[in-house]
């Protein structure tokens, strides 16, 4: 198993090549977060925007959940005549409250408190609305309610989703894996060809069940299940390692210690970041391991 995968585009492609050469599986540290978003995209679709477009045009912003960034309350730069409303929806049972909010927006007669009624009114009157949220915090039902609510709003106005990307360059890793294999995270090569299965290739599940006897972890922090398997770690120098892996290889931080292509959350796309060249990249180390395996 090659897990963690908190690396840049080149490191991801090198990890994929090593997995193909050894029949290993691949999983990202934040795969649950990633797949939750992808499941909604597959089943319902998203109306998506970028952070720059949201800041420039949004006159109504709904922040859902606790882990949302501060959004500037000043008027949009491209539409100064508009007043920006920044609303918050937090607390327990967000899936239920989003369902009630969606019902109110649809005009159904349903009990709803004054706060939800006020939010619904602001959403209805938006000219360019944006919902910001983290799929790492919301469950599948809450995300489904959000996707449906945004679709409903687009029947009469313009409304978009702006998901907060998962850490560890997760979006960049998904792009690289999909471009090379046709699949996102949780890919296995045990039968020679790439297979995608969110349950079978869950690194935590495989470690707990004993289905993997060796893990190469790429990332700064080791997983909670590290003590359950034999572990090799590819980490930045100075990383806290507990328990201590059998093998530790030091690699530079992408975009800091070496040049890298990473997902830029502000731009909403991949971007080149120049590094100082102080340490070898994960890609270089993984390529060396792959060559050694193939020559063995």
pLDDT digits (tens, 9 = 90+) for 237-265: 888 898 999 999 999 999 999 999 999 98
The band of 41, judged by pLDDT with boundaries at 50, 70 and 90, is confident
Identify the pLDDT of residue 44. 84
Contact present, 2 and 25 (Cβ < 8 Å) = yes
Contact present, 290 and 17 (Cβ < 8 Å) = yes
The answer to whether the peptide bond before residue 44 is cis (omega within 30 degrees of 0) is: no
Is 56 found in the same domain as 138? yes
Is 119 found in the same domain as 75? yes
Identify the pLDDT of residue 187. 97
Residue 110 lies in a domain: yes
Of the residues 163, 182, 204, which one is the last residue of a structural domain? Answer: 163
**Ramachandran sector of residue 224 (left: φ over 0; alpha: ψ -120 to 50; beta: rest):** alpha
Can you tell me the distance from the alpha carbon of 52 to that of 273, in angstroms, rounded to the nearest whole number?
A: 19
Identify the pLDDT of residue 250. 94
φ/ψ of 15, rounded to 5, equals: -65, -40
Residue 250 lies in a domain: no
Identify the pLDDT of residue 83. 85
pLDDT of 74 strictly over 90: no
Task: Give mean pLDDT, residues 186-203.
Answer: 96
Residue 108 lies in a domain: yes
Compute CA distances 268 → 6, 34, 171, 183, 265, whole Å.
18, 15, 10, 20, 5
Domain count for the chain, please give it: 2
Identify the pLDDT of residue 296. 86
The string of DSSP letters for 4-53 reads: ---S-HHHHHHHHHHHHHHT-EE--TTHHHHHHHHHHHHHT---B--HHH
Where in 94-173 does DSSP place strands (E)?
129-133, 159-163
Q: Domain of 202?
A: 2-30+167-228+235-245+269-282
Write the pLDDT tens digit of every residue in 267-284: 888 999 999 878 899 999
Identify the pLDDT of residue 79. 75
pLDDT of 82 strictly over 80: no
Structure tokens at 80: 């100064």
Is 85 found in the same domain as 180? no
User: What average pLDDT does the chain have?
Assistant: 93
Task: Give mean pLDDT, residues 18-46.
Answer: 93
pLDDT of 207 strictly over 90: yes
Of 79 and 146, the one with more pLDDT? 146
Is 173 found in the same domain as 155? no
pTM of the complete model: 0.90
Is 159 found in the same domain as 172? no
Q: Per-residue b/e over 31-65, b at no fewer than 16 CB within 10 Å? A: bbbbbbbbebeeeeebbebebebbbebbbbbbbbb
Residue 96 lies in a domain: yes
């Amino acid at each position: 198993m090659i897990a963690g995968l908190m690396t840049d585009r080149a490191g991801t492609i090198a990890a994929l090549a090593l997995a193909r050469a050894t029949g290993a599986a691949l999983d990202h540290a934040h795969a649950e977060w990633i797949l939750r978003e992808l499941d909604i995209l597959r089943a319902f679709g998203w109306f998506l925007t970028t952070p720059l477009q949201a800041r420039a045009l949004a006159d109504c912003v709904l922040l859902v959940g606790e882990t949302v960034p501060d959004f500037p309350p000043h008027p949009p730069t491209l539409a100064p005549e508009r007043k920006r409303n920044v609303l918050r929806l937090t607390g327990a049972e967000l899936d239920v409250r989003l369902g009630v909010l969606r019902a109110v927006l649809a005009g159904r007669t349903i009990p709803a408190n004054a706060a939800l009624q006020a939010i619904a009114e602001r959403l209805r009157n938006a000219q360019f609305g944006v919902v910001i949220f983290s799929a790492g915090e919301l469950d599948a039902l809450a995300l489904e309610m959000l996707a449906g609510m945004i679709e409903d709003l687009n029947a009469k106005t313009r409304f978009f989703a702006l998901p907060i990307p998962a850490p560890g360059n997760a979006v960049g890793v998904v792009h690289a894996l999909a471009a090379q294999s046709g699949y996102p995270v949780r890919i296995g090569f045990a039968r020679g060809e790439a297979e995608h299965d969110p349950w079978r290739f869950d690194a935590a599940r495989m470690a707990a069940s004993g289905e993997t006897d060796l893990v190469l972890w790429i990332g700064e922090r080791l997983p909670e299940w590290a003590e359950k398997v034999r572990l090799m770690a590819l980490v930045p120098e100075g990383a806290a390692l507990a328990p201590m892996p059998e093998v530790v290889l030091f690699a530079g931080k992408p975009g800091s210690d070496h040049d890298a292509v990473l997902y830029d959350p502000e731009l909403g796309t991949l971007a080149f970041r120049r590094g100082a060249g102080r340490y070898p990249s994960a890609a270089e180390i993984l390529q060396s391991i792959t060559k050694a395996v193939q020559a063995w």
